[in-house]
Amino acid sequence: MNVIAINGSSRKKWNTATLLKHALEGAATEGAATELVHLYDLDFKGCTSCFSCKKIGGKSYGRCAMKDELTPVLARIAAADALVLGSPIYFHTESGAMRSFLERLLFPYVTYTPDYKAIFPRTMPTAFVYTMNVSEEMKPAETVAYTQSVLQRVFGGCELLLSTDTLQFDDYSKYLSTCWDAAAKAKRWAEVFPQDCARARELGARLAQQAGGEARRASPI
């Protein structure tokens, strides 16, 4: 059983990456082999509208035809048992790298048919971990809900984990960020972020359990 996590943050040791690592630790407790991919390590672009993935009978029907460093990652995801995505919120949406990744991941599986039916060949448990500097009340609800809905359409399900009011800087005095209370941020990070990490571990374990159940149902008796 393989569980892959995709980090859409440029930071490898901060909020998003930390939560993804905890999710993979939870998956590992259920016997999953895990992999964490950092998108900012890869040289790739978003969709170029070549439509090769839509061409009936074409050699790239149902998969992205572009060849770059994301290509083997997409192939591993197609063969994975569960998928966890993670991104900070930038300007009310996912990071640029994550948006480009989502285009390449999802568009080949979504068809131009009534209800935009997906052609991913099976059900795969997925989740999206969002981190954001704003409060729960200020979260970009429409963005989060839409991305979740597309993942549900393609893969059959998607859980969300939102980590809000996160810590952005080690030292707020070094940055022009006077709208934030640095002491309150640090206090929340010390008290609440560990709870978010625990939720991420539970999420990872739950996805692995679901993936194991899907595998058993798909196996011949």
- State which residues form the domain around 73: 2-218
**What's the pLDDT at 214?**
61
**What's the pLDDT at 141?**
85
pLDDT in tens, the chain (221 residues): 999 999 999 999 999 999 999 999 999 999 999 999 999 999 999 999 999 999 999 999 999 999 999 999 999 999 999 999 999 999 999 999 999 999 999 999 999 998 889 999 999 999 999 999 887 887 888 889 999 999 999 999 999 999 999 989 888 989 898 888 989 989 999 999 999 999 999 999 999 999 887 655 555 55
| Residue 182 CB burial class (10 angstroms; 0-12, 13-18, ≥19) | middle
Q: Give the CATH number for residue 61.
A: 3.40.50.360
Phi, psi of 37 (to 5 degrees): -110, 130
**What's the pLDDT at 137?**
81
**Cβ atoms of 136 and 164 closer than 8 Å:** yes
CA distance 66 to 31: 33
Number of domains in the chain: 1
Phi, psi of 46 (to 5 degrees): -80, -175
CA distance 158 to 197: 18
**What's the pLDDT at 219?**
54
